[in-house]
């Protein structure tokens, strides 16, 4: 049997890029084997219509955008997915066909995005941890008027969090690895490079 992944595709209706594909038949995506990562979850670089990198999504979402006519593949991988009527090469880079305005601050302030910005690394001891082993710390404690903002929240391991307590880093004898900043497009670009450092097809879109 052909070893290529044979998966039928069903566009998801609510992805923020408009309605579904007219005339498409309902099709299903079976759950991947738990023993190995699914090709449908592999990262895909998303470019604006101007070829500017703006996001990273999963293969599944990228295929939906392509089927809806919202995006086209600029780079593909060797793998293929199969619907009932045709085979589609798995995209590595897609480009939106219509320009999208990207706000300068486009990321919501959330635990997930703080950990993403800080690369799952404790900002005091410098060690990387799984997300489940990290918490958020207010650099200036809330008891002293510290607010929940991009500039005052950092990823922190539980050991450093307990050591710091209700004090400033200086009072606890701790040093920040780097000053916390908002999640800007520049930050996203850096993360795109980290995610795609093994895929040579991404480089010409990110390293310029």
Domains of the chain: 1-103+184-208 (no CATH), 111-172 (1.10.30.50)
Of the CA atoms within 13 Å of residue 190, those in its CB half-sphere come to 8
For residues 133 and 159, is the Cβ–Cβ distance under 8 A? no
For residues 48 and 96, is the Cβ–Cβ distance under 8 A? yes
pLDDT recorded at residue 87: 86
Confidence of residue 104 (pLDDT cuts 50, 70, 90): low
Contacting residues for 115 by C-beta, under 8 A, at least 6 apart: 131, 134, 155
Contacting residues for 38 by C-beta, under 8 A, at least 6 apart: 32
Global pTM? 0.51
pLDDT recorded at residue 143: 93
Q: Is the confidence at residue 54, as pLDDT, over 80?
A: yes
pLDDT recorded at residue 37: 54
Q: Is the confidence at residue 114, as pLDDT, over 60?
A: yes
How many of the other CB atoms lie within 10 Å of CB of 188?
Answer: 19
DSSP code of 135? E
For the chain, where are the alpha helices, taking DSSP H only? 59-67, 111-117, 158-164, 169-172, 185-195, 200-206
Q: Is the confidence at residue 71, as pLDDT, over 90?
A: yes
DSSP element (H, E) containing 72? strand 71-82
């Amino acid at each position: 049997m052909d070893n290529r992944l044979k998966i039928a595709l069903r566009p998801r209706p609510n992805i923020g890029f408009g309605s579904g594909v007219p005339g498409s038949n309902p099709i299903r995506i079976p759950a991947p084997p738990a023993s190995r990562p699914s090709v449908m979850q592999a990262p895909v670089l998303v470019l604006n219509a101007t070829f500017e990198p703006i996001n990273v999504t999963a293969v599944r979402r990228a295929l939906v955008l392509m089927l809806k006519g919202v995006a086209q593949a600029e780079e593909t991988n060797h793998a293929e997915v199969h619907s009932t009527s045709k085979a589609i090469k798995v995209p590595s880079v897609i480009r939106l066909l219509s320009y999208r305005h990207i706000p300068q601050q486009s990321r919501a302030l959330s635990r997930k995005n703080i950990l993403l910005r800080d690369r799952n690394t404790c900002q005091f001891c410098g060690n990387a941890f799984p997300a489940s082993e990290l918490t958020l710390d207010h650099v200036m404690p809330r008891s002293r008027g510290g607010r929940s903002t991009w500039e005052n929240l950092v990823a922190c391991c539980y050991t450093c969090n307990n050591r710091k307590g209700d004090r400033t880093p200086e009072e606890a004898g701790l040093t920040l690895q780097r000053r916390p900043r908002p999640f800007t497009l520049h930050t996203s670009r850096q993360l795109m490079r980290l995610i795609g450092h093994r895929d040579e097809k991404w480089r010409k879109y990110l390293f310029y």
